[in-house]
A and B are shown apart, each in its own frame.
Chain A
Amino acid sequence: MADALTRSMRASHVLAAVLVVAALIFAAVGAAIDDTFYLRLGTEALIFAGLALSVDILLGYTGLLSLGQALYFGLGAYLSALVLMVTPSFWAAMGATLIAAIVVGAIGGFIANRVRGVYFALITFGMAQIVAKIVYNTRALGASDGLIGVPVINVNFGIASISSASPVGFFLFTLAFIVVLYALAAYLLDTPFGRLLIALKANERRVPFLGYSTVTPRLTAYVIAAVIAALSGALYPMLRGFVSPELLFFSTSGNAVITLVTGGVGTLVGALYGGILLTVLKSVVGSYTEHHLIVIGLLFMGAVIFLPRGLMGIVRPAVERWLGGKVVP
């Protein structure tokens, strides 16, 4: 007998599948009309959805609000750009990012996990600000200009390869990449380890009474989130050919939180829908006025007040009902 969490995650998976089908149709139409702009925009939306996914692991599951996830996103983006400028190999860039994210994530997690609640939000915010300011002032990392001239690469799978210069090819690759990250996160959170994280969110004091350590799972969750953010960030220079210090700024972390809260906290798939929703909204509103922040800010405030569970708070229960079984609100 599946419990409520398994049922609701099943609904998340259905919604993720719907998203993939829609993205494939979008890619097919884009390829047919030889579009570049919208496919690139869609790819960027998916990359930032990956960042929002990492925020969801912390906020939605462990109950910790990170205001500094841009630290790891930027780490991935800068490292990937540096590696690619030396050797244009996708796997080298990803490997280096993975290792760096684990190491830096462990250090950051050690620092941040010493505190709880609102202090956690502020300490993650502070750490990201330190790194952002240092990068912004380091000439070797391009200072305020960032790194430009990241070469076009071929993602080599042995039997086939995808060029990052191909709009539709790289869109499909990014889609697959983000879906794999989603699946990995969903799998991990369905294991006993994931249940432990949810228990931590519900009541951290009681968890030790069940014989579990609270330190290890919190740190592990933090590192996993760091890795997901960094790997998403590593795709950015492949798409745009440059990285800028803006990727490390608070606006990037803040946008990820907005994306997640509008999409739906604690659903994983909400991060993906939120990323697409916000990108579409930005480009639609942006075509009328340059003041899209007012619209997005109001929408976000509305979501916080009226829809604390975001877009998925309406959609997912409906999908659950459709899949059958009783819905526990």
Chain B
Amino acid sequence: MNSNFFEVLRAGINTTYQDHGRFHMQHFGITPGGCMDLKSFFIANALLGNNSEEGVLEFAYQGPLLKLVKGEAKIVITGNVTFQIIKTNNEKVNGECNRSYNLKEGEQIDILATKESVYGYLAVEGGFNLKPFCKSVSILARAQIGPNEGKKIKNNDKVNFKRNSNNEKNFTTNVINEKREIIRVMQGSQFNFFSKQSQNNFFKKHYKITNLTDRMGMRLEGPSISNIVSANIRSEGITKGAIQVPADGQPIILLTDYPTIGGYPKISNVISADYHVLAQKVPGEKVLFKNVELREAEQLYKEHLNNISETIKNIKEIN
């Protein structure tokens, strides 16, 4: 049993282990969870030659400061993140995202901040050494499910990884920044719960992302959406990206750690191809919703996956 590990000198904000998510459990009330930005997740693992579903560390706004106490590691950071590698002689090297680095015993990695985005990811070659719950290593902190006793990473924790990195080769790829104001959605069967005026506003006016935003949901602020049928519906199963409107008329987008069942009517649902773009928006940013039909949403998702495949195909060795 090897015991390679990092020590957490500073935990960062909302630092948790995540993977692609935990499925076949929603009927128990267990939400799929997983990385908020799955594109960054897949690219991180691909750059290290990992299994595509290997768990990573996700952080929000500020990442952790980790010291490699035992072993050698090859790491990658994805997203849009400022970070430094601190050598044993205290020399600081500015890091680049979407590029692998070799770390020697005693070196530190200081993940300072995400830039114009919320989430960043740290992956290690071979993966972190984690005990899955129901086939996933995603932490659901509010239910204390997943590795690390289901808790966020805190100072002095040990971050164990599976194996020493034994090659000096490093890899990089070019990732297109998809920042955009327009978020495409599909109307659902409850679209007609809302007044014509509200329906028009929803697609023509901007909605601002508020501070009341986390892995579970994103509260928006904008023209009030008035309900002409009923502000309550029979509680029903939720889908990631559902945009529900409670009686106060301000929409809430249900994100990755969504409640599995909800009782507010939904005006629309964010399409799969745009979800990662939405999840990376910071409070204060504005969004403009655009309606698309099912066929188009399916086509856009296909293009999104092709884009990720292309990015992975273009991974190159650094000379």
A, B assembled together:
no
**B-side interface residues toward A, CB under 8 Å?**
none
